[in-house]
Amino acid sequence: MPEEGIAFMARWREWSDGLGAARIEKGRPAGMSKTVSATGIADDGGSNPLSGYSIVTAVGIDEAVKLASGCPHLEHGTIEVAELIDMEM
């Protein structure tokens, strides 16, 4: 139902806006993914397909997990939290 999608997005916006200064990039939804391995390409999106992303700033991964724990996407699945590592030399 379109109404459910609209209501869900309103909850997501409320959560995202509630991150305040911790939210570095609001993020975007992702389309269907493909899994690339040494043996080929699979169209199934893997064991935990990416549905979107957001970037936050946090003191450490535990704080980032705490920020993610309020996201309404948890009603439908899981959230992966990982540190972005600066690769500039």
For residue 10, what is the domain's CATH number? Answer: 3.30.70.1060
Decide the pairing of beta strands 35-37 and 52-56. unpaired
Structural domain contains residue 16:
yes
Question: What average pLDDT does range 56-74 have in this prediction?
Answer: 95
Helix (H, G, I), strand (E, B), or coil: what is residue 28? strand
Q: Is the confidence at residue 48, as pLDDT, over 80?
A: no
Domain contains 80 = no
Q: Which residues contact 26 (CB under 8 A, 6 or more apart)?
A: 16, 54
Is residue 84 in a domain?
Answer: no
Residue 31 lies in a domain: yes
The answer to whether position 86 is within a domain reads no
pLDDT at 44 > cutoff 80 = no
How many domains does the chain contain in total?
1
Q: What's the CA gap between 54 and 40, in Å, rounded?
A: 29
- Residue span of the structural domain in which 63 resides: 2-75
Cα atoms in the 13 Å half-sphere on the side-chain side of 36: 1
Is the pLDDT score of 37 beyond 90? no
Looking at residue 31, what is its pLDDT? Answer: 84
89 in any annotated domain: no
